[in-house]
Structure 1
Amino acid sequence: MKKKTVAVSLIGTQLDYVGKRVDRWARWRPNVSLCSQEDLIIDQLHMLHDNHSNRLANNVAVDIESVSPETNVVLHLVNFNDPWDFEEVYAKLFDWCQQQTFDTDKYDYLFHITTGTHVVQICSYLLTESRHFPGRLIQTSPDKDSKNKSIGRIQIIDLDLSKYDQLATRFDREHLEGKAFLKGGIKTKNVAFNRLITQIEKVAIRSHDPMLLTGPTGAGKSQLATRIFQLKKKRAMLKGDLVSVNCATLKGENAMAALFGHTKGAFTGAQSAREGFLLTANNGVLFLDEIGELGLEEQAMLLHAIENKTFHPVGSDTPVKSNFQLIAGTNRNLKQEVKKGAFREDLLARINLWAYDLPALKDRKEDIPANIDYELDRYAQITGQRVQFNKEAKLAFVDFATSNKALWTSNFRDLSSAITRLCTLADSSRITAVDVTDEIERLNVAWFDTEQPSTATSLANYLSPEAIAQLDHFDANQLSFVLGVCEHHNSMASAGRELFNVSRTMKSQPNDSSRLQKYLGKFGLKWRDLSS
């Protein structure tokens, strides 16, 4: 069954008023025009008017009945003390919408925006866009080319922007630009990383809630936090600055004062007042790197500041306001830190709404060539000197960098340092195969001469003595190694990437999580057993 059409309009005290003479039919009147269209039948018109326009509203209703007998005109008394007062107009139109019963299954709704002040028109748009009025906008206007001047023409405006192809294309392009910006212009190929950046871009421009960036040291948490801030600033979503703090440097009694500020004389050595990082980040972004290093007392005050946007500087009884957005970074497993009593569970719950685990460089081998080019460009921008690989050298370095021989223990910091050394030592701005061979040797010395921490763990943490006694030495040592690796990761996927680092590259779908889950299942273990 075809839906009926219901329109809402205001009486036009100027445009609708033409008197009662016969020649009024030669004049264009917006509400009469709305109900005179051949291609649009208005089944019901709700016309809003004030006390002073009661007679005009009735006269217009009579004329509408004569040109459109199928239209049922319903008059509503809505008085605006000041039709240019935005707060009053919006509140009264909002209340009117709340009092109505809208049935979108049976009716199509139109809000006529031709009449009323500009403030009324803006409020009509806002109520329709927010779906408090569940319909579309319609506008009437005179048609100079028409023989019947009184009918005019109409235009319907649907605020569902996804229906407009040109706008959808622009939005898609804007999202692509945002994602490219967050990636520093690097054309990454890693599917999981690209998916992660896609979601971060959406959250960055739509949310003011805290974000948590996890991942190993050197995975790019600080750079990503900076780009998130720059993207929000670019979109005029922020007025303040980016304040970056390495929490590992905040130790002892100075940590509280550095974060929350202090008054003059609050403690020995406090010769003058200090704002503190939270206040400096007002209306901007506060990036707390290595947030797991904060003490429990600082964590408690930080949680209060996030939830209430207020805190007390050290030595002050007067609360201070700061509307900052928090981005936290850590290479620790904060869930394990909670279990150890080193991190507050309520703070983790608050900052874990948008949590993203950045993969290590060795887990994004397909992105290494693009990052090499990025580091070359970065070196050129910093030094003003353009250095390039010759063909043989480029092939040799990319081959090594993407192989299992390259550990990249410090991730992008290792890669950046390697390119900086290669560019600095290159003669005639050209990196040769000999330069690459020397650099590979340097990296191997740095990676393999460093004593590596043990990845094994005690099976007694997870299995009973009876179960351990049933294991062969081979299985016991292998399981101990696997569990040790798992303890250093936040997720099965991340642990699986490290454990199956070679075989996963030979599969079209690595399924790291599934493989690890099946392996643990052989010993009666589940991932939640490890995380708990």
Structure 2
Amino acid sequence: MKKLVSIGILGVQLDSFEPHKRWDRWRPTVSLLQQEDLLIDRFELLYEPRFAKLAKTVSEDMTSVSPETEVNQHEVNMGDPWDLESVYGALYDFAANYPFDTDNEDYIVHITTGTHVCQICLFLLAESRRLPARLIQTSPPKRAGVGNPGDYRIIDLDLSRYDQLAARFEIEKQDVETQLKSGIATRNKSFNAMIREIEQVAIRSPHPILITGPTGAGKSQLARRIYEVKRSKRGVSGAFVEVNCATLRGDAAMSALFGHKKGSFTGALDDRGGLLKSANKGVLFLDEIGELGLDEQAMLLRAIEEKRFLPLGSDQETESDFTLISGTNRDLSEEVAKGNFREDLLARINLWSYQLPGLSDRKEDIEPNIAYELSRYAEDHGRQAIFNKEAKRAYESFATNPESKWTGNFRDLNASVTRMATLAGTRRINLEIVESEISRLQKSWKGTKQEQADDLILEEVLDAEASSIDPFDKPQLAQVIRTCRESRNLSEAGRKLFAISRLNKKTSNDSDRLRKYLAKFGLKWESVCS
């Protein structure tokens, strides 16, 4: 059998005594060796230097009640016994230097004596396995009496051994996974395995996470779910701040991310805190991080590593303790090779990297996602739409067919379900609506890459209303949106778009012309560039 070794701190109050009365009162450290059914082979008694005399007497008394127990004294200077850092440091050093032999010995840590801070530190060291031990708690006898050692209880911190607790942890784990999947009962094995790992990382790790995958695969939604899990587990306390880096250019990029001081560039009329500052204690999601310029990348790297950065035009640093999640549809390793992305930044942001598969690679998840999109439509529009049996069979058969491309991934599916639900006047999606939608999707997938790109950018801005735009207007509106996103302000975008026609006008107001053009489609500059 293994030897049993106990570790405990000398109790300067409970273990102390008046010399002629010391056997008349309960002393926790001595009583531990008086338990008839607990044979301790060795006791490691920790004490502070100023209590050496008391430690010597208590050790002698321990030996007298249990001659078979070897009692070793360890002088440990804990400084202020109520200072957590001081006490933990001293006990940590003891644990780090102690020659534990778990193959041949079992260990128990006595947590009845010492200040509450000492007891907390012993618990933390045992829970983290720096002290590979169970805990033991002693209590005085209900009736005083000579030789009555009281009671004891051993506590094992391996929570997996407690069936009810283990069951609760499993339920909680499943709840977190469901939250990360937006409540969708996904069936794809590799995707579910990835979500299980992300669940652990979201709870335990403060380090950056990189989410890659094609446009429309759900990177932004997953990032928000990770934030919600972190916040529910108190991993973060601040806000979720999201920005599409493809919309950031030049001074506007620096200003948006890092803030600026008034007057630092033309148009900087007031101080601005910046998105990194807004994400303090929270999560910053940089979607399409591969679109950032090299200067912004350099500043971002320092902000990640040091939690400090310089706002534009300022000589005083700002601090922000944020958790970074990045998203991209690019191969950042290739971008590094091309000189478009910093290698040191990539190394810093991809400690945890996850590739989201496209919808065509998760055909078994299409059915539960259709149900999810219908429930989301009902929540957003206040009216429910459901398939009739024939229509449901036809749409699911088409959706899961290998020939169905789903080039826009979940954005395609969302737009498709939204269109059918909108057209279901009787709140039933019938076969006629499904056949019309299938024809619409097939035509859109046959388009050129440019047409596909135009459709994606319009769906991103207009959602389901993109389907109501005439084919004649689509390429023009898509180009206008791209130009707006590549420009710093409305005037610059207007100058680019009307560079030729403005030459034939005596006076021109490019901003007003562009504003009116966007208004035709119910759009504003802010909504296009957000």
Same fold (TM over 0.5): yes
Aligned to 2:91: 93
Would the aligned equivalents of 2:23 and 2:146 in 1 still touch at CA under 8 Å?
no
Deviations 1:213-245 (A, max 9, x none): 111110000100111111111111111111111
Q: State the distance in 2 between where 1:80 and 1:255 align.
A: 51
Aligned equivalent of 1:190, options 178, 184, 188:
188
In the TM superposition, what is the alpha-carbon distance from 1:43 to its structure 2 partner?
A: 1.6
| 1:47-58 to 2 correspondences below 5 Å | 47-50=45-48, 53-58=51-56
Q: Does 1:226 align with 2:224?
A: yes
Report SS of the residue matched to 2:250.
Answer: coil
Aligned equivalent of 1:45, options 23, 26, 43:
43
Aligned to 2:234: 236
Aligned equivalent of 1:447, options 431, 445, 470:
445
Aligned to 1:370: 368
Aligned equivalent of 2:205, options 204, 207, 211:
207
Moved more, 88-97 or 191-200: 88-97
Shift in CA distance, 378/93, structure 1 to aligned 2, threshold 3 Å:
same
Letter in 1 for 2:183: G
Report SS of the residue matched to 1:409.
Answer: coil
Letter in 2 for 1:3: K
Q: Does 1:384 align with 2:417?
A: no
Shift in CA distance, 351/314, structure 1 to aligned 2, threshold 3 Å:
same
Would the aligned equivalents of 2:370 and 2:417 in 1 still touch at CA under 8 Å?
yes
In the TM superposition, what is the alpha-carbon distance from 1:20 to its structure 2 partner?
A: 4.5
Report SS of the residue matched to 2:190.
Answer: helix
Aligned to 1:463: none
Q: State the distance in 1 between where 2:301 and 2:425 align.
A: 54
Aligned to 1:11: 10
Shift in CA distance, 55/339, structure 1 to aligned 2, threshold 3 Å:
closer
Percent sequence identity over matched residues?
A: 57
Letter in 2 for 1:236: R
Report SS of the residue matched to 1:48.
Answer: strand
In the TM superposition, what is the alpha-carbon distance from 1:24 to its structure 2 partner?
A: 5.4
In the TM superposition, what is the alpha-carbon distance from 1:50 to its structure 2 partner?
A: 4.1
Q: State the distance in 2 between where 1:228 and 1:288 align.
A: 14
Report SS of the residue matched to 1:253.
Answer: helix
Q: State the distance in 2 between where 1:61 and 1:99 align.
A: 22
Q: What CA RMSD, in Å, does the superposition of the two structures yield over aligned residues?
A: 2.3
Deviations 1:99-157 (A, max 9, x none): 43333333322211111221111111122223333322211123448998612222122
Report SS of the residue matched to 1:226.
Answer: helix
Q: State the distance in 2 between where 1:435 and 1:238 align.
A: 45
Q: State the distance in 2 between where 1:137 and 1:420 align.
A: 58
Aligned equivalent of 2:156, options 155, 158, 162:
158
Instruction: Report the number of matched residues.
Output: 452
Aligned equivalent of 1:298, options 296, 299, 305:
296
Aligned to 1:461: none
Deviations 1:158-182 (A, max 9, x none): 2233333332222222221111100
Report SS of the residue matched to 2:88.
Answer: helix
Deviations 1:267-307 (A, max 9, x none): 12211111111111111111111111111111111112111
Q: State the distance in 2 between where 1:89 and 1:213 align.
A: 41
Any unmatched runs of 5+ in structure 2?
453-530
In the TM superposition, what is the alpha-carbon distance from 1:10 to its structure 2 partner?
A: 2.3
Aligned to 2:397: 399
| 1:67-216 to 2 correspondences below 5 Å | 67-78=65-76, 82-144=80-142, 150-216=148-214
Report SS of the residue matched to 1:171.
Answer: helix
Deviations 1:74-97 (A, max 9, x none): 233445554323233223333333
Any unmatched runs of 5+ in structure 1?
455-532
Would the aligned equivalents of 1:246 and 1:288 in 2 still touch at CA under 8 Å?
yes
Q: State the distance in 1 between where 2:221 and 2:368 align.
A: 16
Q: State the distance in 1 between where 2:418 and 2:428 align.
A: 13
In the TM superposition, what is the alpha-carbon distance from 1:330 to its structure 2 partner?
A: 0.8
